[in-house]
Structure 1
Amino acid sequence: MVAAVRDPAYRDGLALVLGSGLTSVVGLAYWVLAARLLPPAAVGVDQAALSAVMLLGGVAHLNLTYALLRFVPVAGRAARRMVVLGYLVVVLLAALVGGVFALGAPWWAPELVAAVGQDRLLVFFGLATPVWALFTVQDYVLTAIGRATLVPLENIVFAVLKVGLLAAALTATVTGAIAVSWMVATTVLVLAVTVWLLVRALPRFGEEHTVAARPVTLRELGRFVRADYAGSVCQQGAMFGMPLLVLALTDPAATAVYGVVWQLAQTLFVVSSGMNQSMVAHGAADPAGADAARRRTVGRSLRLVVPGAVVLALGGPLVLAVFGDHYAREGAVVLALTSLAAIPYAVTSSMVGAARLRQWGRIQFGVPAAAAVLVIGGSVVLVPALGLAGAGLAWLVGQSLVAVVILLATARWLPPGLSGRIDAVRSAGLLRRVDSAAAHLRLPEASAWQVRRRLAGGSESVVAVIGPDDGPHGALLKASDTPRSRDGLAWQTEVLDRLHADERLGRLHALLPEVLGAGDVGESYCVIESLLPGESGLHALRDPERTETFVASATDAIERLHRCTGRIRVVGDAELRAWVHEPLDRVREIVPTVLRQETHWLAEHLDAALRGRRARVGWTHGDFGPVNLLADSDGRVTGIVDWCEARPDGLQVLDVVVMSQFCVVHGTGGPELGTLVQRWLADPPDQVRRAQRRLGGDPVDPRVLTTLGWLQHVAEVARKSARAAANPVWNRRNVRSPLRRARQVLDRGVSPAQPEDPPVRA
């Protein structure tokens, strides 16, 4: 826990949550005072007016809150200019939006006009909307410059000032005392914080972060704001538009109850929002870590939200009794339901935050839009039938449904049938988004190219055949929209370009795809490769008449690559880090704590077995198996594909070891990899020894090479697919069991009689 608090993202998140919590405590006194001294109808009208200001302020700031949070940390000296321009846009647009709302209030808020009057509404909304919009934006600016710890102080001052001004307004019998005291307090805080930011804080921040700064283009900023703004409007509509909806569906007294309930329940929602803000601010420099940051943020939010939601759900009547019998009688059920809705909101808000880091516009819009439609639409249907409880039920059901979809889509592991369907939906959507890749990448006559058929697709990528609809020629389209897979495709593009430029390969060039085009298409990275002849090597492997020819042809092809590019090198720190220690670091992350000592022992043993020996090092494929080979009708290899794991200085014998392993695993009736590895550790096959002799160098224990081949594969699975690595069955059979057996065999030099797991057909 102490280590977690030292994390700047967690510390700033706690500061934001603490600020909201302290504000809520003092805010209770504010609303208790208002509820005790004013009739429910008056409280309801002012609540609706303030909610309208908050909604309009959210619409007017164009969600520059998260845009500044995302880009100010990397703007350097340009940070102050960026904030000033943002403030000017917010003020002008908020004043316009507030005035338009007030002028049109007779049509969309006649209850407010009847209670307050048209002229007063125009003055109030024209002034209050820009002030509230700036008040919202400035907390995000403070977080962006690493001053989130000041937010609690600001909010405490705001809350205390509100209480004092409300007491003064009630004493002076000011009409609309709640709204007036609220907005005067807001104005004082906005002026004070803005002057400090522009005069001292932002200039100092810009000087301190000049080295790490990068240019932020208007196009990049505009693309972020466009998608995020639409989603933000939907979220603001659900949070701050509901009092207006309740007022239209019920009466001012019921609106007062809902307003008090929302003030209580909102304290739980802002916990997730605060953690989310901190995640975006601290993750701006590392968007690739968005998934891990999202999972941490959800856990940290739930540790605070769940206890609070349970307390409010069970103790709602007692809490609401402080405001008066009317509030306790009418609001207990809706408070319980709305408070529980804050639990799934921790999931939905963190998903939007991760999308902000990655600039995934569809997620930034889709998640809050779906939740808003369910909440607002559900309220329209349920409130007339169930009263205020219908609004709480709409919140709980709407947030829960969206959270369930997110959890399924991002689960580290799901049963194969379910995960396959989810992956199919996701890859189909990705393919639709990149179906114009040929035109974007300026391929000749690309306007006539279409997607012919999808060949593969997972949770992060898709592969499809594209080409002219009426022609025999085509190409292969690969696309991905996650940082990890994008990096893999970009590396494969570089590998193929380098191999094709290497004259030593000669006729081997015919077996390698040629990159026809590569680059960003929207939010995805796409590669278009030449389409090589032949069918999947799996078919040739499983055809008894072609098996022998296929295996011999594949071995010959990869060994020609090894001979052309390899050289004998003494194994040192760099090689051992790449072949042993980094792969074992990844394996260590996916095994139970009790097995991590095994990985440390294995690292030491493999290091000692290889260090100082002469080995043949050069280009390796890294995942050389039947799945990544093409073959003709006779079984001869016609293509070697999928070079994402290739390395220019790999241990070349491992390509042959991996090929030998997967020819057994993928053959008809073959065992799983873990079972095969355990067998080979007991009795290494001759082909491992022969491969060493053909490549040259010092001989290495075949059991060590068997272990390295297994390690290379499972480490890449852990790197590429958290979902596959988290599969408990796959992990036990293919990671944990071979890890234990490798320790036993290599340490004691004994051969186990039977593998730990029975053979399982592929």
Structure 2
Amino acid sequence: MNENAIARNASGTSGHFARPRRLAMFLHSPLIRNGYALIASAGLTSVLGLLYWILAARLYSPEQVGVAAALISTMMTLGNIAQLNLENVLNRFLPVAGKGARKVVLLAYFGAATASFCLSLVTVYSVGWFIDEASFLRAEPLAAGAFVLASVAWTLFALQDSVLAGLRQSTFVPIENTIFAVSKLVLLIIFSGSSVLGSGIYAAWVLPLPFLLAFANWFIFRRFLPRHTLVSRPDAELDRKTIAAYFGWDYIGTMASMTAIGVAPLLVFHVSGSAALARYYLAWQIAYSLYLIGRSMGVSLLTEVGFEQHKIRSLMAEALIYTMVPLASAVILLVAGAPYLMQLFGDSYGHDATLLLQIGALACLPWGWVTLSLAVARAQGRTILVAVAELITCAIVLGGGSILLKRYGVVGMSVAWLIAHSTVAIGIIAYVIMQRGVGILFEAALHVGSALAQVKDGFDAAIRPNPKGNLPAELLSLIEKAGGCDLTTWCIVAEPRRESDIRTIFLAESGASSPAAAAPALVVKVAKSTEAKEGLKHYVDQVKRLSCDKRLSEVGFELPSLLAVDFSSSESISVERVLPATDGRAALALTPSANVGLANAMDAIAQVHRFTAASTVLDQRWLDRWIEHPAAIIRKTAGVTLLEGQRKAAIDALIREQTHFWQGRKLSVGLGHGDYCPANILFGPAVDVSAVIDWEAANYEMPPGIDAMHLLMTQRAMRANEELGHVVRELLSKPALQNYEVAALGEIERQCVTAYGSLKEPAIIQALCGFAWLQHVAANLRKSRRFRTGRLWLAVNVEHVLRTYLQRANPEASSV
């Protein structure tokens, strides 16, 4: 075939060439982008805050620092209480508020401002009864009025960060907080040694707040809210009862947390005096910056679950990795560097402050885990667990802290924090085990392992050399030999990461466009190893067989079209045209038209089966081909998490279940795709199926419903961003289809009813799911050594599923 012929056959725009990487760089994930934006904000604020308190300690006496710390701590505590838990409500419900988002924000601001005003008034007239050093607030009207207004401003300033997070605009938070921190430093120097508003340190802290409120909320109401309204789901409705129930328990938990944080320094102040409070407060401020790592990612996690509830497990795993790795690193550095860091504050902050900081840093490790766990509990609406955890923390900190403070001095309060967070972390783990069994720890480890693998894939993809550019001479020679054509004007535009031993390359004519802008028109597959050659030859044979099957001319969508093939060299090669369409992963994601696309995909594969169906009885030959042989391939793989005896028992149980279901059935078998997943389905502008690609696993003896089940499983895995093994295990354990899945089945449901019964029946779902999974993993193990030696892939996608069959065959077996 000459070059012009290839160009004519390759005309059209790309559909399936642009297969996205398994994981884009982490900044492309809203969870990580917004979480790290909040962490960056906390980091910048903490560094500049550290400088603030270093300067304060140098410019002011320890007594002045202590008084300022008491004022700021009281104001922040009031602000946290006055937020009425609205920060968590905004993070949870603002993502789904739709057109009501502006009203939600305004109501939150009004409620928080009103509560702050009332609480600060009460505080002004009562705090002097408990703390003599703060009695000037009641005696000086100007200081009292400033304190009330500052408390209201601080409340709104803190709450607007939750508004930004709920709108997925957390990248704005570091900007406003950096401006705030720099402004405080400038004013601190200007007010050096003064007692403006009762304390120059306090005045420098609060005076920038009104200006920053105006700055941030101009962006919120003029830019971010209108944009959020456009992208929100139009059918999103806020359930007032749900919000009220969420608000109640979570508010109790938040109140307990804020009480512990706010009252602890006041206890130190009362028992040990202002100088001791200065040491505690400075050490606390530094350690608290580490806590904000977990808190920031928890806020982002809660927001993202609001947008994508179906991804809660993968989001939790990602959040855990991206929280605990930097948190553990920071804790190690802080514990090691605490003696040197505290020297920056001067001679008055010696051994006690260093030990306070080291213990406080260690407490942040269990605190980070607790924060993420409570974010998940909030996302699932289990706010009573949040309340219990926070109440226990408060009781241990204030109760135990009071005892330890009197016995061991100011260090005792830091020890109380470490005990409280460790106790709650252990309690959460114990509670989860009681609810879900000890096997949940193993499952969680697999989720984290999968997330770590995705992180590695993302970085590998980022550092992999860019394949775009002119064709290498050796590749050009292979293509010319296969097709007898001249492609010297063509270039490489993409080379996806390989999951098999076959190299796939997309080409386009350079023309006047740059290689990066050129539309791909040809896909070239190159095989070098023996297994890869056999796989490519099998693929080519399948494509040729499909092209000769006249019955498929009526299916209404395109099939792969080979342009050139050569198996005579050391490297085998095939060339086919890129089919013009939209990648099925984009069409079947969570979009308004996704359900229509799913129904069209089901109808397309139902047509294939209908046009090629032939009645047969499933005899032993068929069972050997579809059950015994794939199971034998799995037997040959090395064990990872199961003992050899367990693997054998699980595979035997799988064979028994499948044989019992299929043996002797008389039904219509037909052509099945074998890997009918979103990546292999291409859609047109009207979300109709325009092409189906990659028919390597196709077979003419496929029972009805198998391709449909494979599509449902892979779509669930894609939407949840999980490995297929997690989805299969859940479907085997809880065999039920979702309403939108049942609605999309159409003719597939009728074919299954005729063959063996409705796909609403749990036993049928389990049988088809197990059958589709068995074919999938066996095909992967056959085609590439990457799968046979990939311990994590085997643990998640093979043995995690086998464990289900083992437990069903032997309920006495350990759930681990």
TM-score by length of 2: 0.55
1:708 maps to which residue?
A: 771
1:191 maps to which residue?
A: 214
Secondary structure at the counterpart of residue 668 of structure 2: strand
2:49 maps to which residue?
A: 27
The residue correspondences of 1:247-266 to structure 2 (distance < 5 A) are 247-266=269-288
The residue correspondences of 1:95-494 to structure 2 (distance < 5 A) are 95-113=117-135, 117=139, 119=141, 122-170=144-192, 174=196, 175-206=198-229, 208-212=230-234, 214-410=236-432
Partner Cα distance (2:705, 2:415) in 1: 64
Match status 1:77 vs 2:99 = yes
Task: Tell me by how many angstroms 1:643 deviates.
Answer: 8.0
Name the amino acid aligned to 2:222. Answer: V
Name the amino acid aligned to 1:184. Answer: L
> Is the Cα contact below 8 Å between 1:243 and 1:255 reproduced in 2?
yes
Task: Tell me by how many angstroms 1:558 deviates.
Answer: 8.6
Secondary structure at the counterpart of residue 284 of structure 1: helix
2:700 maps to which residue?
A: 612
1:55 maps to which residue?
A: 77
Aligned residues: 508
Residues 1:612 and 1:653: Cα distance change in structure 2 (over 3 Å)? farther
Secondary structure at the counterpart of residue 170 of structure 1: coil
1:472 maps to which residue?
A: none
Structure 2 unpaired stretches of 5+? 1-22, 443-656, 682-693, 711-731, 743-748, 779-790, 803-809
Name the amino acid aligned to 2:154. Answer: W
Structure 1 unpaired stretches of 5+? 421-553, 583-602, 623-640, 663-703, 716-727, 740-758
Task: Tell me by how many angstroms 1:248 deviates.
Answer: 1.7
Deviations, residues 127-171 of structure 1 (Å, cap 9, x unaligned): 122111101111111122222111111111101100111222226
Task: Tell me by how many angstroms 1:711 deviates.
Answer: 4.1
Task: Tell me by how many angstroms 1:265 deviates.
Answer: 0.7
Partner Cα distance (1:708, 1:384) in 2: 67
Task: Tell me by how many angstroms 1:48 deviates.
Answer: 1.1
> Is the Cα contact below 8 Å between 2:45 and 2:181 reproduced in 1?
yes
> Is the Cα contact below 8 Å between 1:75 and 1:213 reproduced in 2?
no
> Is the Cα contact below 8 Å between 2:167 and 2:228 reproduced in 1?
yes
Deviations, residues 505-531 of structure 1 (Å, cap 9, x unaligned): xxxxxxxxxxxxxxxxxxxxxxxxxxx
Name the amino acid aligned to 1:307. Answer: S
Deviations, residues 93-130 of structure 1 (Å, cap 9, x unaligned): 11001111222224443442268846466324321221
Residues 1:296 and 1:329: Cα distance change in structure 2 (over 3 Å)? same
Partner Cα distance (1:28, 1:616) in 2: 67
Task: Tell me by how many angstroms 1:374 deviates.
Answer: 1.9
Residues 1:173 and 1:343: Cα distance change in structure 2 (over 3 Å)? same
1:94 maps to which residue?
A: 116
Partner Cα distance (1:292, 1:57) in 2: 34
Residues 1:569 and 1:734: Cα distance change in structure 2 (over 3 Å)? closer
Secondary structure at the counterpart of residue 84 of structure 2: coil
Residues 1:213 and 1:36: Cα distance change in structure 2 (over 3 Å)? farther
Task: Tell me by how many angstroms 1:64 deviates.
Answer: 0.8
Task: Tell me by how many angstroms 1:322 deviates.
Answer: 0.7
Partner Cα distance (2:439, 2:194) in 1: 68
Residues 1:8 and 1:171: Cα distance change in structure 2 (over 3 Å)? same
Deviations, residues 670-698 of structure 1 (Å, cap 9, x unaligned): xxxxxxxxxxxxxxxxxxxxxxxxxxxxx
Name the amino acid aligned to 1:306. Answer: A
The residue correspondences of 1:348-747 to structure 2 (distance < 5 A) are 348-410=370-432, 568=668, 570-573=670-673, 577=676, 607-608=697-698, 611-613=699-701, 615=703, 644-645=735-736, 649=752, 652=756, 708=771, 711=774, 735-736=798-799
Partner Cα distance (1:760, 1:281) in 2: 39
Partner Cα distance (2:695, 2:366) in 1: 45
1:45 to 67, 79, 82: 67
> Is the Cα contact below 8 Å between 2:124 and 2:137 reproduced in 1?
no
> Is the Cα contact below 8 Å between 1:313 and 1:339 reproduced in 2?
yes
Secondary structure at the counterpart of residue 135 of structure 2: helix
Partner Cα distance (1:166, 1:416) in 2: 54
Residues 1:233 and 1:615: Cα distance change in structure 2 (over 3 Å)? same
Residues 1:559 and 1:158: Cα distance change in structure 2 (over 3 Å)? closer
Task: Tell me by how many angstroms 1:73 deviates.
Answer: 2.0
> Is the Cα contact below 8 Å between 2:48 and 2:182 reproduced in 1?
yes
Secondary structure at the counterpart of residue 155 of structure 1: helix
**Seq. identity, %:** 27
Name the amino acid aligned to 1:293. Answer: L
2:610 maps to which residue?
A: none
Name the amino acid aligned to 1:324. Answer: G
Deviations, residues 278-335 of structure 1 (Å, cap 9, x unaligned): 1122221222332332222122111111121122212212111111111133301111
> Is the Cα contact below 8 Å between 2:297 and 2:319 reproduced in 1?
yes
Residues 1:378 and 1:68: Cα distance change in structure 2 (over 3 Å)? same
Task: Tell me by how many angstroms 1:712 deviates.
Answer: 10
Partner Cα distance (2:774, 2:28) in 1: 34
Residues 1:5 and 1:39: Cα distance change in structure 2 (over 3 Å)? same
More moved, 165-174 vs 177-186: 165-174
Residues 1:76 and 1:343: Cα distance change in structure 2 (over 3 Å)? same
> Is the Cα contact below 8 Å between 1:317 and 1:332 reproduced in 2?
yes
1:36 maps to which residue?
A: 58
Partner Cα distance (2:795, 2:194) in 1: 73
Task: Tell me by how many angstroms 1:68 deviates.
Answer: 1.4
Partner Cα distance (1:644, 1:706) in 2: 9
Partner Cα distance (1:642, 1:36) in 2: 64
Residues 1:47 and 1:202: Cα distance change in structure 2 (over 3 Å)? same
Partner Cα distance (1:738, 1:156) in 2: 49
Name the amino acid aligned to 1:390. Answer: G
Secondary structure at the counterpart of residue 612 of structure 1: strand
> Is the Cα contact below 8 Å between 2:38 and 2:297 reproduced in 1?
yes
Residues 1:123 and 1:6: Cα distance change in structure 2 (over 3 Å)? same
What is the RMSD of the two structures over their aligned residues, measured on CA atoms?
A: 4.6
Name the amino acid aligned to 2:219. Answer: W
Partner Cα distance (2:396, 2:361) in 1: 17
Partner Cα distance (1:217, 1:13) in 2: 27
> Is the Cα contact below 8 Å between 2:138 and 2:144 reproduced in 1?
no
Task: Tell me by how many angstroms 1:418 deviates.
Answer: 11
Secondary structure at the counterpart of residue 345 of structure 2: coil
Name the amino acid aligned to 2:123. Answer: F
Name the amino acid aligned to 2:68. Answer: D
Partner Cα distance (2:166, 2:438) in 1: 41
1:637 maps to which residue?
A: none
> Is the Cα contact below 8 Å between 2:31 and 2:315 reproduced in 1?
no
> Is the Cα contact below 8 Å between 2:129 and 2:135 reproduced in 1?
no
